[in-house]
Structure formats: C-alpha cells, structure tokens
Amino acid sequence: MKAKMRSLFVAGAVSVMLAQPVIAEEVNVDPWEGFNRVMFGFNDRLDTYALKPISQGYKAVMPDMAETGVSNFFDNLSDVGTLLNNLLQGKFHSAGQDFARVTFNSTLGLAGLIDVATPMGIEKHEEDFGQTFGYWGAESGPYLVLPFFGPATVRDGIGMLPDAFVDPVYHVNDNGDRNALYVTRIIDGRSQLLESEKLISGDKYTFIRDAYLQKRAFSIADGDGENYDDSNF
C-alpha cells in the first residue's frame, strides 16, 4: 500500500467536503463504478477481518508516546518525497521547509521519532507525484479503486510508481527490515483512522469516493479556494 495506505485522507477530506461544494452531478466521475465497487468490497472485507482488528490491537497495546514516535518516524520519511515533489512543482520555499524538517527531525529528532520541526514553526506539507502531475495540468482520469491500495484516479495510480521509488523504505537493502517497515507503516496509518472513520455516513463507497476526489482537487490547489477546481473529475 502507498504511504499510510493513502489512508489519512478521511479526516482531511471530511473538512474539505464541509467547506467546498459537492462534485457536479453532471460530470461522470466514476464510469468504472461496477469494477470499483467490486474492488472496494474486496478491500473493505480485507480491512474488516484483518487490518482493522490488527490496528485496534496495535493501538491498544502501544503506549501513546511510542505510537506518536512511530507516526513521527514515518512522517519524516514522507517528507523526503514531499521535498522532491515541491522542487518539481517549483515551490522552492516549501521545498526549503521540507529540507529543514527532514534535517532537524532526522538529527535532533532522533531519526524522526520526535517532531522537533513543528514546534520550531517549520510547516509540514503533503505532496506526491499524483499532485505534481495535476499541478502541471495532467487530467485526473476516471476514479479508480485499486486492490490493496484503495481509492485513486488513473493519474494518481500512475503517480504511485515514482512515489514508491523515492520512498526511503524502498531502498532498505534487507528484505526483512524493508517488509517490516512497510507493515508497520500500514498498521500505524490504519490505526490513525479508527476515530475519523466514524464520520462516514450513508453509502460508504460513495462517501469515500467523493471525499477522496474533493480532497485531491483541494490538495492540488494547495487549499486555495480561488484555484480549487473539481471539473477534472
């Protein structure tokens, strides 16, 4: 799965949905809905019977301080990809902040276990190759639910390939260590959704689809209401 299973979109997506108009009904955002619902059902069952119970157990036994440290560690790794994508988008000020975050958190923050950058006032960003492609005008393409990876679009699905390559975990030489890091990151990310998923209402598939598409459009516009445009969807 992509970093944090593309998981942490739900809480942010809910706030975007409350602040932004819904996606225009006349635009067919989901021409592959039949396939997507099948994949969604597969992922949902996998989550219900495996990932969610494991994540609940993880959250129950992990001390809060340790859980925060694990989340900080993976957040620090994700800042590496964010740094590269901000450079590719020409956002040099943001890239400088990303570099500062990685530097301070990796050193003073003990390999990222402690987030020292945020209290220093260094802003955290969230950027990936899907957003970079969108920044430079690439259309999103249809909504697409990928097995194991979850909600995406054609553009975001393609973006997962370079995202995976620049992920520091990918470059860990030992297969056992690398796989352990992947699994721990997935469980940590899922555990952070246990509360926010309670906000889901109505048809779960539709809610997550609309939340994901609006959140992605909002992220590509960097939260700028004037540039927010969901017409690509």
Q: For residue range 92-117, list pLDDT tens digits in order.
A: 999 999 999 999 999 999 999 999 99
pLDDT at residue 11 is higher than 50:
no
Cα(83)–Cα(188) distance, integer angstroms: 22
The dihedral through the CA atoms of 76, 79, 81, 84 has a sign that is negative
Cα(78)–Cα(141) distance, integer angstroms: 25
The predicted model scores a pTM of 0.84
Contact between 169 and 185 (Cβ < 8 Å)? yes
Q: Is 4 left (phi over 0), alpha (psi -120 to 50) or beta?
A: left
Q: For residue range 156-197, list pLDDT tens digits in order.
A: 999 999 999 999 999 999 999 999 999 999 999 999 999 999
Contact between 20 and 218 (Cβ < 8 Å)? yes
Contact between 48 and 57 (Cβ < 8 Å)? no
- Tokens 């994540």, residue located: 55
Angle at 67 between CA 80 and CA 178, to 5 degrees: 50
Region of poorest pLDDT, from 15-19, 37-41, 81-85: 15-19
Cα(58)–Cα(62) distance, integer angstroms: 6
